Amino acid sequence: MSGITASSVGHAELATLKALALSGDLDGDQKVSCSALADRLDASTQTASRRLQRLEEADLVDREIVSDGQWVTVTEAGERALQREYADYRRIFERDASVELHGSITSGMGEGRHYISLPGYMRQFEDRLGYEPFLGTLNVELGEESVRERGRLSSFEPVTIDGWEDDERTYGPAYCYPAAVEAGDGSEATASDGGEAASRFEDAHVITPERTHHGDDQLEIIAPVKLRDELGLEDGSPLTIHVTEQR
Ligand SMILES: Cc1cc2nc3c(=O)[nH]c(=O)nc-3n(C[C@H](O)[C@H](O)[C@H](O)COP(=O)(O)O)c2cc1C
Ligand SMILES: Nc1ccn([C@@H]2O[C@H](COP(=O)(O)OP(=O)(O)O)[C@@H](O)[C@H]2O)c(=O)n1
Ligand SMILES: [Mg+2]
């Protein structure tokens, strides 16, 4: 036993393992010369050789040394080590790709309808969202976890609806995030057979007005249709909101 384990090899060894996996398929062995490997890693031949040796000691590769090089196979443990790296990158790059929020339908103050109908906003909705919203905002009381989760929306690129003013007052900006909304808490299989109402609407937006009377626990949604009718919702109905980052 060498005392070196998969978790104790350094980044340089993992990079070497990755280079090996990239140049051959994971299932077979490949003929490797230390100088060719060194070129790919931008390191000296001695360094490449030492890294291969460490990888072997950690059981991440098997080697058979022959006169003109060596046969190298990435072991199952080696593949698992690469899978762990892959999972990390997935988390980094896919984490921000979508946010799923849960809550229940609630009635608000009856003001959403008024704001949505104002021409200074309506013109921008048509231009920037590509539709004329139903007059109102569907209000959703978020669950505790989703209140925290919605904070991640701030890292998404919104469609910005600019503030404006008329003779009497100023109106604040609002930020829109493309979202699909789904009746239910997201856990049940969707029963679409025979029911009058659809269960999911794809082309909605979460809207966060910069000036609002609501706290973080209330989410507002706009759409080209009346979602209460479209999805058969009433106060208290559970709703799942899938916000996807536009890239
Ligand atoms: C596009 C849009 C713009 C808004 N702009 C303002 C604003 O300038 N000032 C303000 O006090 N509230 C503004 N509001 C927020 C509303 O006053 C209210 O907090 C929110 O829309 C909730 O309405 P509801 O409870 O009737 O659904 C705006 C709302 C929307 C949808
Ligand atoms: N796309 C939309 C927008 C609003 N609505 C509903 O339309 C009504 C008018 O919206 P509102 O924002 O003026 O009213 P409240 O949210 O204050 O109750 C409310 O019952 C909303 O829930 C909807 O079903 N679908
Ligand atoms: Mg509303």
Q: What is the pLDDT of residues 98-135, one digit of tens each?
A: 899 999 999 999 999 999 999 999 999 999 999 999 99
- Identify which has the larger pLDDT, 97 or 146: 146
Which SS3 state, helix, strand or coil, does residue 136 take? Answer: coil
8 Å CB contact between 108 and 137: yes
Beta strand 30-32 pairing with 69-74: antiparallel
d(Cα 69, Cα 19) in Å, to the nearest integer? 17
CB 171 less than 6 A from any atom of ligand 1: yes
Which SS3 state, helix, strand or coil, does residue 138 take? Answer: strand
pLDDT band at 245 (very low <50, low <70, confident <90, very high): confident
Question: What are all long-range contacts of 155-159, with beta carbons under 8 Å and residues at least 24 apart?
Answer: 155/96, 156/96, 156/99, 156/243, 156/245, 156/246, 157/245, 157/246, 158/208, 159/128, 159/129, 159/205
Asked if domains 6-74 and 96-244 share a fold, the reply is no
Query: Rg of the chain's alpha carbons, rounded to an integer?
Result: 28
Nearest ligand by distance to the CA of 209: 1
Distance 194 CA to ligand 3 centre (A): 30
Say which CATH class 96-244 falls into: mainly beta
ipTM: 0.98
d(Cα 14, Cα 12) in Å, to the nearest integer? 5
Span between the terminal Cα atoms of the chain, in Å? 49
8 Å CB contact between 162 and 123: no
Token couple for 117 = 């109908």
Domain segments of the chain as ranges: 6-74, 96-244
The residue behind tokens 């104790």 is: 8
Whether the predicted model's global pTM rises above the 0.90 cut: no
CB 228 less than 6 A from any atom of ligand 2: yes
Q: Please report the pLDDT score of residue 1 as a whole number.
A: 45
d(Cα 226, Cα 218) in Å, to the nearest integer? 18
Lowest mean pLDDT among 3-7, 34-38, 84-88, 223-227: 3-7
pLDDT band at 46 (very low <50, low <70, confident <90, very high): very high
pLDDT tens-place string over residues 195-209: 556 799 999 999 999
What ligand 2 atom has the least distance to the C-alpha of 108? 17
* Domain 6-74, second-level architecture: Orthogonal Bundle (1.10)
